[in-house]
Amino acid sequence: MTATEDRAGELERAGLNGQNMTALGRILGTGRIGYAEEGSDGVMRAEIRILEDQLVFDPQILVCPHGGEIELTIMNDDKNTHCALFPSNGDPKIIWLVNHSKGTARLTLDGPGHYWYGSTTGNDEGRGLNAAIVVGGEVPDSAKLDRPPQPRPEASPVGRN
């Protein structure tokens, strides 16, 4: 096996760049990456779409610079009903989306990490309708371990001050 810089070409050759090819849906991480924008009120906001006849969230990976409140506007452009089950501190949030509808979910994700979400309707997740929210930044002081400082990278492209 050799590494390749032509990721799009490699995904196409493997049949992983679309629905109903090698896999039923698109594999997580092969879609577009989006970035949440922080408003003057401190709330990060982003739009997510369920693309028509593709069984994917777009963007498939949403990057937030740090933990906090995140407001997502979700649009179902598909001809089928879907939902989105989002992680959030305390209780997960679920939003039901009939075909060609729009809704809003407000999440609290206060620590850095990878948070997965998907549509739990039917077999949507198994067919590829899942995505990730990646939160950068530092953990709250209350969650830091009591130990000597550890080596850290010089810079991070997202969320490190």
Q: What pLDDT score was predicted for residue 4?
A: 53
Q: Is the pLDDT of residue 116 over 90?
A: yes
Q: Is residue 157 part of a domain?
A: no
Q: Which of 58-67, 85-94, 98-107, 141-150 is predicted least confidently?
A: 141-150
Classify residue 17: in a domain, yes or no: no
Residue 120 placed within a domain:
yes
What tens digit of pLDDT does each residue of 38-48 get? Answer: 999 999 999 99
Domain count, the chain: 1
Q: With beta carbons less than 8 A apart as the criterion, state whether 128 and 24 touch.
A: yes
The range of the structural domain enclosing residue 131 comes to: 32-139
Whether 23 maps to a domain, the answer reads: no
* Residue 34 CA from chain centroid, whole number: 8
CB burial of residue 13 (10 Å; 0-12, 13-18, 19+): exposed
Q: What is the mean pLDDT of residues 89-107?
A: 94
Q: Tell me: pLDDT of 113 over 60.
A: yes
Would you state the structure tokens that stand for residue 159, as one six-digit string? 């969320």
Q: Which long-range contacts (CB under 8 A, 24 or more apart) does 88-94 make?
A: 94/120
Q: What is the CATH number of the domain that holds 119?
A: 2.60.40.420
For residue 117, being part of any structural domain is answered with yes
CA 30 to chain centroid: 12
Domain assignment present for 101: yes
Q: Residue 3 falls within a domain, yes or no? A: no
